[in-house]
């Protein structure tokens, strides 16, 4: 899909690792200039260097989306750096090791809501004037646990279900303003989040998992469509396994 995003400006939240990092690089390879956002500034710098080596702008904007003011201010930083937003990817996601409901603490419940859901609300609402101005494409990375319930935890599954409602509601309200919104449901993917599972995933299962680049290709595809078309939902599963 080289050249499909030439001249476009993409902002990727969660760009320090996993599917967010892979999406930022894939969008740059497709021709976009990219703002990379996450908490880990060093990891963002490393990804941005790869993007610049491709001849695209790679702008590093460290942010903790758990802080509403910081999340909203990051949108201003994106616009200052790139001049606008044509593609917004929210790949920020978190899960906790101590996720069983009987042990779920109020602090961890709040952490999950703040990171996976409230951050999405703050970022997209702050960006809304820019998204309308460009007729932007918005992609939110949810999880296949929405369709295939698993033991990823009630807090995680609650936020991932809520992201679906957010995306569909955004599309209903903002389609007339040119915005197109998609929710992506990846199945088991080999990312650092696997390391936060209370029980390690067997190596033979991980070997059959999706790679972050698989989700990144989906992000590039859904954001390359013409304004007359959009993908409401896209489920992406490992061919050898479904959800473990």
Maximal C-alpha separation, the chain: 51
Task: Tell me what percent of the residues of the chain surpass a pLDDT of 90.
Answer: 77
Residue 244: pLDDT band with limits 50, 70, 90:
very low
* DSSP annotation string for 85-122: -SEEEE------SS--GGG--HHHHHHHIIIIIIHHHH
Is residue 90 part of the annotated active site? The answer reads no
How far is residue 45 CA from its own chain's centroid?
18
Choose, from 90, 121, 156, 230, the residue flagged as catalytic. Answer: 156
Q: Is the pLDDT of residue 72 over 80?
A: yes
Convert the pLDDT of each residue in 14-65 to its tens digit.
Answer: 999 999 999 999 999 999 999 999 999 999 999 999 999 999 999 999 999 9
Helix (H, G, I), strand (E, B) or coil at 175: helix
Average pLDDT value for residue range 154-169: 94
> Where are the domains positioned within the chain?
9-236
Section 77-83 average pLDDT = 98
Out of 3.40.50.720, 2.60.40.60, 3.40.50.300, 1.10.730.10, which CATH number does the structure's domain 9-236 have? Answer: 3.40.50.720
Confidence tier at 95 by pLDDT (50, 70, 90): confident
In contact, 24 and 82? CB cutoff 8 Å: no
> 87-90 and 137-141: which strand pairing?
parallel
Where are any strands of DSSP class E within the chain? Answer: 9-13, 33-38, 58-62, 87-90, 137-141, 180-186, 233-236
Rounded to an integer, the average pLDDT of 101-121 is 93
Predicted TM-score of the model (pTM) = 0.93
Q: Does 243 score more than 60 pLDDT?
A: no
Report the mean per-residue pLDDT for the chain: 92
At 99, is the pLDDT very low, low, confident or very high (cuts 50, 70, 90)? confident
**Which pLDDT score is estimated for 193?**
66
């Amino acid at each position: 899909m080289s050249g499909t995003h030439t001249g476009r400006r993409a902002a990727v939240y969660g760009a320090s690792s996993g599917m967010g990092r892979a999406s930022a690089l894939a969008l740059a390879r497709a021709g976009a200039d990219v703002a990379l956002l996450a908490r880990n500034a060093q990891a963002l710098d490393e990804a941005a260097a790869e993007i610049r080596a491709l001849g695209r702008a790679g702008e590093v904007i460290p942010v903790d989306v758990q802080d509403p003011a910081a999340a909203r201010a990051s949108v201003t930083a994106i616009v200052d750096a790139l001049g606008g937003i044509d593609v917004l990817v929210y790949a920020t996601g978190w899960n906790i090791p101590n996720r069983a409901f009987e042990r779920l603490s109020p602090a961890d419940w709040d952490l999950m809501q703040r990171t996976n859901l409230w951050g999405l609300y703050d970022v997209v609402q702050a960006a809304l004037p820019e998204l309308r101005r460009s007729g932007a494409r918005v992609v939110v990375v949810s999880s296949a646990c929405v369709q295939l319930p698993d033991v990823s935890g009630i807090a995680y599954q609650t936020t991932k279900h809520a992201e679906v409602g957010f995306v569909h509601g955004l599309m209903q309200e903002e389609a007339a303003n040119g915005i197109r919104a998609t929710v992506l449901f990846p199945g088991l993917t080999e990312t650092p989040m696997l390391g936060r599972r209370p029980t390690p995933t067997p190596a033979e299962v991980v070997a059959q998992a999706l790679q972050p680049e698989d989700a990144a290709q989906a992000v590039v595809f859904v954001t390359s469509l013409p304004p007359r078309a959009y993908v409401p939902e896209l489920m992406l599963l490992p061919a050898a396994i479904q959800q473990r």
